[in-house]
Amino acid sequence: MARLMGGSAGFHVQGAHMQASRPPSLSFRTCAQLEISRFCAIPRFMGVKAVSASQQHIRHRFSSIRASALPCMQDDTTRYFDFVVIGSGVAGLRYALEVSKHGSVAIITKAEPHESNTNYAQGGVSAVLCPKDSVESHMQDTIVAGAYLCDEETVRIVCTEGPERVKELIAMGASFDHGEDGRLHLAREGGHSHNRIVHSADMTGKEIERALLQAVENDENISVFGHHFAIDLLTCQNNGEIFCYGVDSLDTKAQKVVRFISKVTLLASGGAGHIYPTTTNPPVATGDGIAMCHRAQAVISNMEFVQFHPTALSDEGLPIKPAKIRDNAFLVTEAVRGDGGILYNQSMERFMPLYDDRAELAPRDVVARSIDDQLKKRGEKYVLLDISHKPREKILAHFPNIAAECLRHGLDITQQPIPVVPAAHYMCGGVRAGLQGETSVKGLYVAGEVACTGLHGANRLASNSLLEALVFAQRAVQPSIDHMVDADADPCLAEKWARPVLSVSIKDSALSDIIERTKKTRMELQSIMWEYVGIVRSTNRLKNAEWKIGDLESEWEEFLFRRGWKPASVGIEACEMRNLFCCAKLVVKSALARRESRGLHFTEDFPYLEESKRKPTVIFPTAIQELTWSSKPLQRQLQCK
């Protein structure tokens, strides 16, 4: 039996279901009945309602929790909202703007509201907006890039509904590039058969984030809580099902724990790029949402599929090195290759045609492995991406951000090739979601990179991520409203969970030691993941990673508790570290379970794709949690009355 994190775990891998042990009070019988050949069968076991309530009923019900909660409120450490959104990227903001028409909304975000993966997205949003293009073509490109592991129904929904979501962004004030004919300029990227990428130069994510944040600021029903780190979901069990009633957070500015109680929670917290030492993700991407959901016993899927972007800027190859090590690698968008950029090794030999007939326009997994192979064979640390053969004015118009960043370091991309190297970029796996963003936890919805909807399969097609986030943020709205209207939460439930505590009792010297040790441990974990769970894997290296990560986690936790840390203690460095450990172990376990090479998961021991193993990896909740601090919620799960 496959085992996950020291406990029994149910895996759907290679067509076989290995049954998990489960607590008597938590029945996942309907999960066990899931037809594995249908990746997104979740709507059949989530029980999501499709019936809308009247606006009058909604207004009456959404005010009740705040009114009845007042006698239970002791101070400002407990806040009550109808909807809580965790994350301020495109998925969280778009969802918040829709549900705010029906109730009060809190957006809690780890840093400044704009600091999200969305803000760093350069390429754009893929959508069928040209008469020569078609939904069927977009679907086919998505499925081919996803190594035929995509769920076809999900793909059709996203490709069909995507154009309308893009038009809504434009109506809200998002400004995208237009051609000389006045129409939207549609770029092309690797894996796409048509020009269909809507973009704003090479800063599309920043423009979308700007437009959405402006709309949020103008919405009086939305409250934004910056610098609030989500610690753990607040859950309870009732009649064999788990319900979510909000989240505990750490206000890192005021240094206090704030509890958010809500009828509906949307998790849009992004990915886990920082389990690797080099990633295009901002520092906030430490897998908090995936780890929280795993601890809350939500279903997790396809964690082995980590996408490495083929072309992150290699600082080592720049004429003028950056003054300090970057928090995250600078992304060189896929659109550079889509616009005619050519990859060379350092001897200026073009190599992509040796690996794939599509050359530089092959999907990301192919290009990343090809670059990795070149680097290893030649003993070099970067390759070169050349766009200088294009007209100078067009390069500067299409890629002003990349040109400016390179010029700051002495490199003119209109004259010289760009040094690039693969970097961890996107999690294709995550919290398993149904067709309306629902999870196996009632009242909890997911959208964006934290979710595994079935769209990406084994490898994400370029610029499909923002599209997926927009589509699923919208699809989660109506079921969320229905759940909010029917939810009868006891407002005094907020005081029944034990609260996390700040480590104020720990001496300053001990706390400094803990922070320093945690920083060192984080770097060691990232090094293990890059060395053993990188672009090319093997069973032996994965098992080594499993062993090394387990030892590293044990040593780190023992150090914390020796220095005065308590099981309920919280601090952002330690909480991020436990989430990184949780996500790293999920990736390793899922990778060991897949005994074939498909998409982003390539293993030397099983180098071929096998049709019989074209199944998602599904990790069901487990009764026996591994006895580590990283694997358990800080507060005990309640039995709902």
Contact 189, 145 (CB under 8 A): no
Q: Helix H segments across 251-297?
A: 288-295
> What SS3 class is residue 600?
coil
Name, in order, each residue with C-beta under 8 angstroms of 163's C-beta and a sequence gap of 6 or more.
127, 128, 129
> How deeply is 527 buried, as exposed, middle or buried, from its count of CB atoms within 10 A (0-12, 13-18, 19+)?
middle
Shortest CA distance to 438 belongs to which of 451, 454, 426?
451
* C-alpha to C-alpha distance for 346 and 340, rounded to whole angstroms: 19
Distance CA 16, CA 622 (A): 18
Beta bridge pairs of residue 384: 344, 419
Known catalytic residue: 408? Answer: no
What residues contact residue 24 under an 8 Å CB cut-off, 6+ apart? none
Closest by CA position to 341, among listed 260, 265, 279, 403: 403
The residue with tokens 């938590």 is 26
Query: Which distant-in-sequence residues (6+ apart) come within 8 Å of 440 by Cβ?
Result: 28, 31, 42, 45, 46, 242, 297, 298, 299, 432, 621
| DSSP line for 336-402 | HHHTT-EEE-TT--B-HHHH-TTGGGS-HHHHHHHHHHHHHHHT-S-EEEE-TTS-HHHHHHH-HHH
**CB within 8 Å of 299: residues ≥ 6 apart:** 31, 42, 431, 432, 439, 440, 618, 619, 620, 621
Choosing from 79, 165, 337, 364, the catalytic residue is 364
Nearest to 432 by CA among 27, 34, 82: 34
CA–CA distance, 448 with 464 (Å, rounded to integer): 11
**Is-contact 234 247, C-beta < 8 A?**
yes
Euclidean distance between the first and final Cα of the chain, in Å? 35
List all residues 6 or more positions away from 324 whose beta carbon is below 8 Å from its beta carbon: none
Q: In 540-620, where do the E strands start and end? A: 569-570, 618-619
Give the Cα separation of 362 and 540 in Å (integer).
Answer: 29
DSSP notation for 457-511: TTSPPTTHHHHHHHHHHHHTHHHHHHHHHH----GGGGGTSPPPEE-TTS-HHHH
Nearest to 302 by CA among 170, 428, 463: 428
d(CA 265, CA 245): 7
d(CA 163, CA 58): 30
The shares of helix, strand and coil residues in the chain, as percent rounded to the nearest 5, are 40, 20, 45
Q: Which residues are catalytic?
A: 364
